[in-house]
A = this chain, B = another copy of it.
Amino acid sequence: MFTGLSAFPLSPLGHDGIDEPAFIGLMARLVAARVDSICALGSTGNYAYLRADQRRRITQLAVAHAGDIPVVIGIGALTTDDVLAYAEHAQHAGADGLLLPPMSYQPLQAEEVFALYESVSRMVDIPICVYDNPTTTHFEFSDELHAAIARLPNIGSIKIPGVPADHDAATNRVKDLKARLPSGVTVGVSGDAFAARGLNAGCDAWYSVVGGLFPEAAQAITQAARAGQAGLATKRCDALSPLWQLYGRHGGSLRVIATAAEQLGLVSPECLPRPLQTLDDAGRRALADVLETLALN
């Protein structure tokens, strides 16, 4: 499950909470594109901003509309008690795997993060992906901590926040990390701009934001890399760099992808939870141009 293209859909809001038809529509695109897994309630799925009942509903909808594609559910929360409750619900609802970010408000200590993963891993019997992204969680994993967590039961993968720019450095980075992990624990790259670089460097999976909205474009990169066509993967990933540049200009991928979904008519306006905003008029014009040029639709 934690190999290939893992697509992260939005959890679009409407006037009255979750826009269920819109979410189901996003799921349908992913199923049609035959992504390798679907991860609902990741950062792109705004897990941190939704109420418990909304998260449970997204979980049910994801499981119900994924067909035979494995579903991973994000279970991050600020308290261990909430994480455990989300884990239990997701497993009971039929999720195939769990994504666990060490979400923080007060900066966390390594032993606190270890204890969090220990509590969850001992309670569940489906595999967990460790979510390492300091931009959102504000926690930096050491390799030692990754190794210690990966030896816990039910740890299936580590989602890393990118790789070095240089191919050899990236390859060594992935090799070094994997050498510390039990065999069977995969490593997946995130940060869409790093996709080809990470996959070409030996990452087993791409945890993909763009893949949650434009799965064919993400599939084309993933399949080239996994077929050993490193140059083709790089070329296809670089072709999307106007999109990656918009991510950089708007504080990350979320606002850009949410606005793109809106421009395609797949979600309602203002689909993000305030205070998060979709793009302003100038940003919208630039994005519309990029989507047209890249034939993303």
Residue on B with the closest CB to A112? B275
A78-B48, A115-B275, A116-B274 are contacts. A254–B106 as well, Cβ < 8 Å?
Answer: yes
| Contact present for B252 and A111 (CB under 8 Å) | no
A125 interfacial by beta-carbon distance below 8 Å? no
CB of A79 within 8 A of CB of B274, answer yes
Measured between C-beta atoms, what is the minimum distance from A85 to chain B in Å?
11
**Does A297 make an interface contact (CB < 8 A)?**
no
* A135 close to B (CB within 8 Å): yes
Answer yes or no: A276 CB below 8 A from chain B CBs.
yes
Is chain A's binding surface mostly helix, strand, loop or mixed? Answer: loop
Q: A136: which B residues are within 8 A, CB to CB?
A: 105-107
A234 contacts the other chain (CB 8 A): no
A141 interfacial by beta-carbon distance below 8 Å:
no
* Chain B positions within 8 Å of A109 at CB level: 250-251, 277
Given contacts A107-B252, A251-B106, contact A274 B115 (CB under 8 A): yes
CB contacts under 8 Å to B, within A117-145, are 119, 135-136, 138
Interface size of A by CB at 8 A reads: 32
Residues of B within 8 A of A81 (CB): 273-274
Which of B79, B105, B115 is the one whose CB lies under 8 Å from A103?
Answer: B105
> Assuming A43-B105, A79-B274, A119-B274, what are 10 further A-B pairs, CB within 8 angstroms?
A48-B105, A78-B273, A79-B273, A106-B252, A106-B276, A111-B277, A112-B274, A112-B276, A116-B274, A138-B138
Residues on A lying within 8 angstroms of B by beta carbon are 43, 48-49, 78-81, 102-103, 105-109, 111-113, 115-116, 119, 135-136, 138, 250-252, 254, 273-277
The 4 A-B pairs with the shortest beta carbon distances in the complex, nearest first, are A80-B274, A48-B105, A112-B275, A116-B275
| 19 A-B interface contacts by CB (under 8 A) | A43-B105, A48-B78, A49-B79, A49-B105, A78-B273, A79-B273, A80-B273, A80-B274, A81-B273, A105-B136, A106-B254, A107-B135, A108-B275, A108-B276, A109-B251, A109-B277, A115-B274, A116-B274, A138-B138
